[in-house]
A and B are shown apart, each in its own frame.
Chain A
Amino acid sequence: MNNRIKEFRARNNLTQEDLAKKVKVRRETIVFLEKNKYNPSLKLAYDIARVFDAKIEEIFLFE
């Protein structure tokens, strides 16, 4: 599974720390997500999508 978190984060002028605080996870988790080293839970994917005001499938791309 790939994702476009970095792209959406840049578009919304958010740092990794800002996004981590908004979705209540550690900054390392955002780093791992952006590097595709971790697949998030459905809840975290939903929370991230809500921060960017987008649909889950726009951010997370299932191969």
Chain B
Amino acid sequence: MIKNMKKAVIVFIVAVLVLATVGVWIFSSSGNFKPTDILSFGVIILVVAFAVFIGIRRLTSAKRGEPPEDELSKKVMRKTSSLSYYISLYLWLVIMYFSDRLDYETHAIIGAGILGMAVVFAVCWLVFNFTGIRHE
């Protein structure tokens, strides 16, 4: 149970660190945010919310005395990993296509790609977690 709670606490610490980094980014910038910056904030908040959701789930499981992982959660994670990896390949292909046509700095493009991968992973996990895995 303590190990399970430790993982949840680590998730919360990472979420706080990400939020703190975003906070530093906002306060250190001049205040003129482009629409892409606001979109980035929104996506980061969504990803952090997802991490907090996972952390809360782990904590409630630990309190109930349930195992942190079982065969269904492992299968969901396996399916999520494989599908999100597959989708991410196409995501990077799209980013490479548009990178020549849009005037963005390299680090902004890579950041968008990483954020996109996180979103793809979160969406895939939510889909498999709420629809289940049948006939396997």
User: How many of chain B's residues have a CB under 8 angstroms from any CB in A?
Assistant: 15
Q: Tally of A-B residue pairs with Cβ under 8 A?
A: 44
CA distance A26 to B131 in the complex (A): 16
Q: Does the CB pair A37–B71 fall under 8 Å?
A: no
Q: Does the CB pair A37–B131 fall under 8 Å?
A: yes
CA distance A36 to B135 in the complex (A): 10
A-B contact pairs, 12 of them (CB 8 A): A25-B66, A26-B66, A26-B67, A27-B64, A28-B73, A29-B73, A35-B132, A37-B131, A37-B133, A38-B132, A38-B133, A39-B135
Q: Chain B residues near A35: list those with CB within 8 A.
A: 132
Residue B99 lies at the interface, judged by CB distance under 8 Å to chain A: no
Residue A17 lies at the interface, judged by CB distance under 8 Å to chain B: yes
Q: Does the CB pair B134–A20 fall under 8 Å?
A: no
